[in-house]
Chain A
Amino acid sequence: MNTIIKIAWRNCWRNPLRTSIVILSIALGIWSSIFLMGFSTGLVNQRVDKMIHLEIGDIQIHSSTYDVDGDITNSIENTEKLLQSLKNNEDIHSFSSRFKTEAYAVSPHGQMGVKLLGVDAIAEQQVLNLETRLLEGTFLESDNTYPILVGKKLAEELHLRMNSKIQLNFTDPYTMQVSKNFKVCGIFSAGNEAFDGTTVFVPKETIQRIIGSVPIHEIIIKTKNETLADQLAENIQQKYPENLIESWKTRYPEIAYGVEMMDSTMYILMSIIIAALLFGIINTLTMSILERKKELGILMAVGMKKWNIRLMIVFEYLVYGIVGGPIGILLGYLTMQYFGNKGFDLSGFGEGLESFGYDPMVYFEIAPKYYIIYTLYILFATFIGGFYPSRIATKLNPIEAIRSI
């Protein structure tokens, strides 16, 4: 056995070119799988992350009739009690209760339907990271009596700048029409045109001053552990059946769809790539067997048993795998580190990306398990792929083999 191993080892290094080609093929296969996975995961995760952390939160709470009749009177049931229990909930990182109503924003240059959100700036900033996306101004920290935070798209449509006047019109809980001027104290860009164009924030105190009360229509929650959002939402739902408590996946399935779509597509693409890789490896290996016809013939002629030869070849492949594997993993890892920090710049296509909510820079991410998965997958494939060539080896007729050129 030992001899065979030794021979196998030496065989590998006798022809450095062949060996390096095979090893590199394996490494390449592993690296490219990791690259693609990192790319697509990063892309999708960032999109999801952005929405959750900039716009919607992990969990949303509304009254059960809010979606049908988004009326200003449709506030959350048992608000006080609910808020208290949220405060005491250990799995919750932070939450923000919001006043939300449809309003019309008017400026000298136009009008737009918007969603008016009355929030507590501090609580809001704990749940959403919108302050990191401020282009100008502040998140409602202002000396203005009626400050308002608007999105970039809205500012463009209505020709707004810092300190511009914007008039908001909406109906209060007593069906009276309210019309009030606000002053722009900040402009944000969440990277999503729909959000930027229709969402405006004002302080809760202002709402209080204008209509005398602040009915709460929406509560957004940031959980300590995102993966538990679904479970957490269910728990709270059971305790407060009169309200609708949903995790973002339930409320915005189209985001989850994006993830799924990516997954399915990746799956198919990976298959193609691995198939191509496999083919290449089999080809190279078979070629190398042919190349060694003479030598194999001699070995057989001097009495090496067929299965020994097979074993020898198998060992060779093992070597390739053992060397190629780690190289692939290492390259993959380094790539992840590099693009994970610096990001992959897609800004050639930057314009449209913004309106779809994508960032031009993609930061690669990958679940560590994939390193193992892909390596094993490819090594396995290589092993299977090596089967055929080794069969050929054993089918050789020693005499012919020696005679060949």
Chain B
Amino acid sequence: MITFRLINSFFDTMKNPLFTSLIAICFIAFSFIPATGQTADDIEKIIYKAENKLRGKSSISQMKITTIRARYTREMRIKSWTQGEDLSLMYIMEPDRDKGTTYLKRNKEIWYYLPSIERNIKMPPSMMNQSWMGTDLSNDDLVKKTSLSKDFDHTLIAMESISEKKCYHIKLIPHENADVIWWKIELWIEKENFNVMKQESFDEDMELVNTMLASDIKNMGGEIIPSKMQFFPADKPNQKTLMEYESIEFDVTIPSHYFTTQYMTKIKA
């Protein structure tokens, strides 16, 4: 699971608000469960399927991440290797100035490699809420795991269409003791393939704080998944981050030494 946070400042980290939302970026295995007559159990199953669609799978992918701000737009191309949920390696191919910057997530640790200074740096916990590579995602978003199916009470609100796909619109209220900062999450899970098409996160006053919107469902690497995802905060209309998968392969063997700090310094992908 990748959780997603919006970051507004780097310098004044102590003071500026962070927007956080839980998002299931999920890749669902093809499923035959018919979407009729929903009981609470069924709904939980739906969410479970959505959450676990690609859990445990390894993948090698190439994506384009566009950060849109009021005054500029920035594009990055990244190659990424993931093994399950605990290991992930990202290598920046473009733009030139950042080329070679590598990011390694190993269980709960995050490391950066900066080619310009040829050094590895371990990210301290205090920086976890900082923006990842200048996007609307934080370091923490790429590390934290949540369990939407377990920690919440679910209610089916309606069937709605998102990006021309029929979706279950589900309301989730976290359990009393769940370690979730949101007070409500709304998910739109696509019926056919259990892709999360939209997710909205709400605060104490039930006001929308941020949104994730997925689109362009394609067959990629053998799975039917959305190839585009947008993340945007509710109070900053000019700002969003766009993630597009250019290519992705699943169930590949990745040598375990890839996920080491030594390897970070050597990648020449």
A146 contacts across to B, CB distance below 8 A: 177
Residue A129 CB within 8 A of the other chain: no
- Per the bound structure, the CA–CA distance linking A276 and B13 in Å amounts to 54
A110 contacts across to B, CB distance below 8 A: 16-18
Residue B256 CB within 8 A of the other chain: no
Whether the pair A108, B177 counts as a contact (CB closer than 8 A) is no
A20 contacts across to B, CB distance below 8 A: none
Whether the pair B128, A169 counts as a contact (CB closer than 8 A) is yes
Task: Using known A-B contacts A102-B126, A181-B178, A181-B179, determine if residue A109 contacts B108 with beta carbons closer than 8 Å.
Answer: no
Q: How large is the interface on B (under 10, 10 to 19, 20 to 34, 35 or more residues)?
A: 20 to 34
Residue A18 CB within 8 A of the other chain: no
Whether the pair B204, A106 counts as a contact (CB closer than 8 A) is no
CB of B82 to closest CB in A, whole Å: 20
Can you name 29 A-B pairs with beta carbons within 8 Å?
A102-B126, A104-B125, A104-B128, A104-B129, A106-B18, A107-B181, A108-B201, A108-B202, A108-B209, A110-B16, A110-B17, A111-B13, A111-B17, A111-B18, A112-B14, A113-B13, A113-B126, A157-B17, A164-B204, A165-B180, A167-B179, A169-B125, A170-B125, A177-B128, A181-B177, A181-B178, A181-B179, A181-B180, A181-B181
A170 contacts across to B, CB distance below 8 A: 125
CB of A401 to closest CB in B, whole Å: 79
Map CB proximity to B onto A162-186 as digits: 1 under 8 Å, 0 otherwise.
Answer: 0011110111000011011100000
Task: Using known A-B contacts A161-B204, A165-B204, A176-B108, determine if residue A108 contacts B125 with beta carbons closer than 8 Å.
Answer: no
Residue B19 CB within 8 A of the other chain: yes
Whether the pair B183, A108 counts as a contact (CB closer than 8 A) is yes
Most buried by A among B14, B15, B178, B180: B14
Most buried by B among A109, A167, A180, A181: A109
A171 contacts across to B, CB distance below 8 A: 125
List 4 A-B pairs, minimum CB-CB distance, nearest first.
A110-B17, A108-B203, A111-B18, A181-B179
- Per the bound structure, the CA–CA distance linking A164 and B205 in Å amounts to 10
Residue A305 CB within 8 A of the other chain: no
B178 contacts across to A, CB distance below 8 A: 181
Contact of A159 among B108, B144, B177, B203 (CB under 8 A): B203
Contact of A111 among B129, B180, B183, B202 (CB under 8 A): B129
Residue B48 CB within 8 A of the other chain: no
Map CB proximity to B onto A127-170 as digits: 1 under 8 Å, 0 otherwise.
Answer: 00000000000000000011000000000011101001111011
Map CB proximity to B onto A98-120 as digits: 1 under 8 Å, 0 otherwise.
Answer: 00001010111111110000000
B15 contacts across to A, CB distance below 8 A: 112, 157
CB of B119 to closest CB in A, whole Å: 21
Residue B261 CB within 8 A of the other chain: no
CB of B145 to closest CB in A, whole Å: 10
- Per the bound structure, the CA–CA distance linking A114 and B246 in Å amounts to 41
- Chain B: which residue is nearest A167 at the CB level? B181
Whether the pair A113, B14 counts as a contact (CB closer than 8 A) is yes
- Chain B: which residue is nearest A106 at the CB level? B181
Whether the pair B204, A108 counts as a contact (CB closer than 8 A) is yes
- Per the bound structure, the CA–CA distance linking A176 and B125 in Å amounts to 10
Query: Main SS of chain B's interface residues?
Result: loop
Whether the pair A108, B180 counts as a contact (CB closer than 8 A) is no
CB of B10 to closest CB in A, whole Å: 13
Map CB proximity to A onto B6-42 as digits: 1 under 8 Å, 0 otherwise.
Answer: 0000000111111110000000000000000000000
Contact of B125 among A111, A112, A177 (CB under 8 A): A177
- Chain B: which residue is nearest A168 at the CB level? B179
Whether the pair B204, A159 counts as a contact (CB closer than 8 A) is yes
B14 contacts across to A, CB distance below 8 A: 112-113
A176 contacts across to B, CB distance below 8 A: 108
Whether the pair B125, A109 counts as a contact (CB closer than 8 A) is no
Residue B245 CB within 8 A of the other chain: no
- Chain A: which residue is nearest B209 at the CB level? A108
Residue B258 CB within 8 A of the other chain: no
- Chain B: which residue is nearest A146 at the CB level? B177
B:94-146 near A, CB below 8 Å: 108, 125-126, 128-129, 144
A167 contacts across to B, CB distance below 8 A: 179, 181
Map CB proximity to A onto B161-185 as digits: 1 under 8 Å, 0 otherwise.
Answer: 0000000000000000111111100
Whether the pair A108, B128 counts as a contact (CB closer than 8 A) is no
Contacts A165-B204, A179-B144 given; 5 further ones with Cβ under 8 A? Answer: A108-B201, A109-B203, A146-B177, A164-B204, A170-B125
- Per the bound structure, the CA–CA distance linking A107 and B19 in Å amounts to 8
- Per the bound structure, the CA–CA distance linking A277 and B158 in Å amounts to 86
CB of B260 to closest CB in A, whole Å: 18
- Per the bound structure, the CA–CA distance linking A171 and B109 in Å amounts to 12
- Per the bound structure, the CA–CA distance linking A336 and B164 in Å amounts to 79
CB of B234 to closest CB in A, whole Å: 11
- Per the bound structure, the CA–CA distance linking A366 and B204 in Å amounts to 50
- Per the bound structure, the CA–CA distance linking A279 and B29 in Å amounts to 97
A158 contacts across to B, CB distance below 8 A: 17
B182 contacts across to A, CB distance below 8 A: 108
- Per the bound structure, the CA–CA distance linking A179 and B128 in Å amounts to 12
CB of B261 to closest CB in A, whole Å: 16
B:186-210 near A, CB below 8 Å: 201-204, 209
CB of A186 to closest CB in B, whole Å: 17
CB of B83 to closest CB in A, whole Å: 20
B20 contacts across to A, CB distance below 8 A: 106, 108
Contact of B108 among A104, A106, A108, A177 (CB under 8 A): A177
CB of A211 to closest CB in B, whole Å: 14
- Chain A: which residue is nearest B125 at the CB level? A171
